Structure formats: structure tokens, C-alpha cells
Amino acid sequence: MTDGAPVLIKVRGLFHTYRTGAGEPVPALRGVDLDVHPGECVAIVGGNGSGKSTLAKHMNALLLPTAGEVLVDGLDTRDHDAVWAVRQRVGMIFENPDDQLVAAVVEEDVAFGCENLGLPPAEIRARVDAALRTVGLEALRRRAPHLLSGGQKQRVAIAGVLAMHPQCLVLDEATSMLDPSGQREVMETVFRLRRDEGLTLVLITHTMEEAALADRIVVLAGGVVALSGTPAEVFARERLLRNLRLEPPQIAMLGRGLIRAGVPLPPDLLTAEQLADAVAALYRPDGGTA
């Protein structure tokens, strides 16, 4: 992409190799290059075992490169002294909301990360208040987290990360265990943060409808970047996607089916609204299609 644009997360020649219990090497990433720019939303998709979650964990130094490097805001994740600065800049939200909540009361949970940063109590108080307001959970601040819905739990986890004033949020399958309203809740929250606060988003997802909301999709396969581009560019490669264990969103398949049947639609329709608008524009009640 644009060489001169600032880069928040720079991944260069990244290799990661796990070891099995028997000491056998299992390569998970085999040379990944990727730039994430401030304020953009990048979706990382790929089949099970493609290396998505491994890549995500490199973005805040939960894993360190076997070879290659990851720079976050210029900080090398391999630098021991930079680890907390990296984690303050890039917050992670994981799949299972129950695994991420540690305290008995919502606001204590949100304060947890700040306390680890060693901030003064008044500053923590102010940040927790602001974060709870941002995710719309002020009214539930004294609740026990285990009594919340799945979507609310994920918003508590997001608030805990926000209180650390990060530049980037990495969501690793953060909606996959939620019901439809919980999924909407989390997606609306993070996209609002991006719009209002310029937060950078990295979405690791199996849900192509979520990936379609990103500026750019990176497809991993076998630990390398197999394809990347705008959602319209990526979802146009239906056959390749299917070979990579993926498929376009239903709306993209519906649009393609209509084009094949002779309806003159643009090829880049990804959401129900876009498709409905494009089809409605062709409709002439008095004379068939335009």
C-alpha cells in the first residue's frame, strides 16, 4: 500500500513455530508481511489452522517471533522492556467472554488493566468511568460480571481495554460465542469507537459478514498471506476463497447470482442495504428493468 503512510503495526517476515509435547516443530506462520495503518479496520480471515489467532497474538506481544519482527508504534515486541508499552497500545478481546473477566464487580474488572499500569487511583477512577460510559454500561457498574449477557460481558472486556487508552483493538473471534443481538452490540460498539475516537481495528473472524465491514481483508492460508484487498476484491474471488475453506457472504452470493441471471448490478455489493438499493434503482414499475 501507500509507502509514506504511518504504520501502527508493522509485521515483517514473521515466522512462528510451535512445539508439540514431543518437541516436534509445527509451523503456524511462515513469512507474513502486513501493515496496519492508524484508524483503519483490517479483517484477518482464514480456515481453521491458517494462523489467524497466532498472528493476532503477535500484535500485542503475547507471542514473540520465531523469526522476523513485529513493530507496534515503532516498538519491537521482542524488546522485554517494551512489552507493557506494546500491550497498552494494542488491546485484545478474545472469543470466550467468561475467560477474560477476573473481578467480582464490573467496574473492578474494567480497572484491572489500569491498575497493572500503576496509574494513580484518581486517574483510574476517571478512566473507568469514561470507558464504562463509552460502552454504555454505566448502569451495570456494580453488577457481578457473571450475571451479564454474553454481549455485555464482551463490552466489559472492551471497556477494560479502553481504560488503558489503546490505539488499536484486536478482536479475536470476539463475537463467535454470542447470540445475534450480542454480535450486533459488540460490532456497533467497536465501529462507533473507530468513528468517534479513531481507534484502529483488527478483526479476526470466521464471519464473512463482519469481514465485509472492514476497509481491507487479509486472507491467511497455511501461515502465509494468500490474498488481500478490499472486501469487494476479496469476495469476488469466490473459487479461490472456497479452496481456502472460506466463502463470500450470502448477500455477495445473491448479488452474483442475480448478475449471472442477467440483472445489470455492480459486482461489489456486500450488505443487504447495498443490494436492496441497487436492485430498487433498476426497478421501473411501468416498464420492467431500466
Partner 1 sequence: MIRCEHLTYVYQRGTPFAATALDDVSLEIGAGQVVGIIGATGSGKSTLVQHFNGLLRPTAGHVYLDDVDIHAREVDRRRVRQQIGLLFQYPEHQLFEETVSADVGFGPRNLGLGTEEVQARTRRALAQVGLDPDAFGPRSPFALSNGEMRRVAIAGLLAMEPRMLILDEPTAGLDPRSRREILDRIVRLHDTRGLTIVLITHSMDAVARLCTRLIVLDRGRLVADGSVREVFSDPAWLASLGLGIPQVAVCARLLRERGLPVRSDVLTVDEARAAILDALSRPAGSRTVSENSSG
- Nearest CB to partner 1, comparing residues 65 and 255: 255
Which SS3 state, helix, strand or coil, does residue 205 take?
coil
- Nearest CB to partner 1, comparing residues 102 and 276: 276
Q: Contact with partner 1 (CB under 8 A): which of 136, 237, 245, 268?
A: 245
Query: Is residue 179 near partner 1 by the rule CB under 8 A?
Result: yes
Q: Contact with partner 1 (CB under 8 A): which of 44, 86, 203, 208?
A: 208
Beta-carbon count within 10 A of 15 CB: 15
Number of residues counted as binding partner 1 (CB under 8 A): 50
**In which residue are the cell numbers 500500500 written?**
1
Round to whole Å and give the CA distance between 147 and 141. Answer: 12
Query: Is residue 257 near partner 1 by the rule CB under 8 A?
Result: yes
Q: Contact with partner 1 (CB under 8 A): which of 209, 213, 223, 231?
A: 209
- Nearest CB to partner 1, comparing residues 163 and 269: 269
Round to whole Å and give the CA distance between 67 and 38. Answer: 25
Cβ pair 68, 14 in contact under 8 A: yes
- Nearest CB to partner 1, comparing residues 5 and 281: 281
Q: State how beta strands 200-204 and 216-221 pair.
A: unpaired
One character per residue 108-137, x = contact with partner 1 (rule: CB under 8 A) = ------------------------------
- Nearest CB to partner 1, comparing residues 72 and 218: 218
CB of 188 to partner 1, least distance (A): 13
Round to whole Å and give the CA distance between 254 and 170. Answer: 30
Query: Is residue 98 near partner 1 by the rule CB under 8 A?
Result: no
Number of H helices, E strands in the chain: 11, 12
- Nearest CB to partner 1, comparing residues 179 and 197: 179
- Nearest CB to partner 1, comparing residues 133 and 184: 184
Query: Is residue 104 near partner 1 by the rule CB under 8 A?
Result: no
Cβ pair 199, 168 in contact under 8 A: yes
How would you label 97-131 residue by residue, b for 16+ Cβ within 10 Å and e otherwise? beebbeeeebbbbbbbbbeebebeeeebeebbeeb
Round to whole Å and give the CA distance between 123 and 119. Answer: 6
List residues near partner 1 by CB under 8 A: 46-50, 95, 149-151, 173, 176-184, 206, 208-209, 242, 245-247, 249-251, 253-254, 257-258, 261, 263, 272-273, 275-277, 279-280, 282-289
